[in-house]
A = this chain, B = another copy of it.
Amino acid sequence: MSEFRKDPLHNKWVLTVPGRGKRPNAFSYEKSEEEGKADRKNCPFCEGNESMTPPEVDSFREKGKEDEPGWLVRVFPNKYPALNEKTNIGVLKNEFPDIVEGYGFHEVIAETPSHEKDIYSMNQDELLLVLKMYRKRYKILKKKKKIKSVFIFKNHGISAGASLLHSHSQILALPLVPPFMAEETEMIKKAKSCIYCRLIEKAYEGNRVLLESRGFIVFAPYASEYPYQLLILPRIHQPFFEEEEDEQLTILADVIKDVFIRYKKLLGAIPFNYFFNTPYMEKGHWNIQIMPKLTITAGFEKGTGISINPIPPENAVMELKRF
């Protein structure tokens, strides 16, 4: 049974998941990018291989019934879930140390029926469908009993933690508010004016704005932890991603396309993680953090909570602007 365990000395939680060590590439330290590429025939996320995943919970389709080919985007529970809805509902046991049972939902979003396509090659329409599915699943999972936060993320590439290379995202619905979101909410509450508006203003002053497009802005955060890290967010106050209309999502798909074209031209089809910050709060701007996986988090970072970034964000933006 999964358990959230609170670190007694730091503001960190650990989710212990017995059995998850058994999933493909769980210990992947010796795997190369190439080894991770299962062929089409054995890929559980490919069209035609629907029986290789748990039964689907959602899809956008051109034709066919659930668990049949004909889908454009397909959602199903993770075969090796970090959280399980069958677990007892998450209760904070007031012990030393703290523990919360691992209740929740863990879904996989296959972004395309094609084994070859990925974020670098998908077009705006295809990206838009993925964003619409994020919005749809977010709304559904947010309403589930005892769920306190919903977290959408994507790992691209074996070295960025993807265990399968067929383009996919994940969504977790959690029985607690994660430490980083809780810290962020606290900082936002304490601030006199909107802290995100302030960050946007400072990004202009610091020459860290990569692009702007019809209501969205992309900049490299001042304290970027990773080389070429970028933040995508709406310029106006809007804490809730799930409330964005189709029109905004269409613009967002264009913006994402633009960003990944720049990455590819400058660095190649690099591995990366992205995730959505769309916390429960009245103030703030929801946002997407994109973290390219070019460096390795080592002993210094793990022990201190300080990241080392060899590419200052203002330099990263200068380089990405060339295209």
A299 touches B155 (CB 8 A): yes
A4 touches B306 (CB 8 A): yes
| A137 contacts the other chain (CB 8 A) | no
| A64 contacts the other chain (CB 8 A) | no
B159 touches A29 (CB 8 A): yes
A10, B5: Cα distance in complex, Å: 20
| A323 contacts the other chain (CB 8 A) | no
B26 touches A310 (CB 8 A): yes
B14 touches A304 (CB 8 A): no
Return the chain B residue nearest A18 by Cβ: B312
Which A78-129 residues sit within 8 Å CB-CB of chain B? 82, 96-97
B223 touches A180 (CB 8 A): no
Give the segment of A43-51, A54-62, A248-256, A272-280 that binds chain B. A272-280
Which A279-306 residues sit within 8 Å CB-CB of chain B? 289, 291, 293-300, 302-306
Q: How far is the CB of A179 from chain B (nearest CB, A)?
A: 4
- Residues of B within 8 Å of A246, CB to CB, are none
Other 17 A-B pairs with CB < 8 A, given A27-B295, A291-B299: A9-B183, A12-B225, A12-B305, A13-B223, A16-B309, A18-B312, A21-B310, A29-B296, A32-B32, A82-B308, A96-B198, A151-B300, A151-B304, A160-B296, A180-B303, A183-B305, A273-B298
| A266 contacts the other chain (CB 8 A) | no
A18, B19: Cα distance in complex, Å: 42
> What 10 A-B pairs have minimum CB-CB distances, sorted nearest first?
A161-B298, A178-B304, A153-B299, A275-B303, A273-B299, A179-B305, A21-B310, A20-B310, A5-B223, A161-B296
Return the chain B residue nearest A274 by Cβ: B299
Known: A202-B96, A312-B18. A306 touches B12 (CB 8 A): yes
A12, B300: Cα distance in complex, Å: 13
- Residues of B within 8 Å of A271, CB to CB, are 29
- Residues of B within 8 Å of A275, CB to CB, are 299-300, 302-303
> Which residue, A170, A274, A277, A303, has most C-beta atoms of chain B within 10 A?
A303
Known: A8-B195, A154-B299, A299-B161. A306 touches B29 (CB 8 A): no
B11 touches A183 (CB 8 A): yes
| A172 contacts the other chain (CB 8 A) | yes
Return the chain B residue nearest A229 by Cβ: B14
Q: Contact check: which of B18, B274, B309 meets A15 at CB < 8 Å?
A: B309
- Residues of B within 8 Å of A160, CB to CB, are 296, 298-299
A26, B8: Cα distance in complex, Å: 34
Q: How far is the CB of A293 from chain B (nearest CB, A)?
A: 6
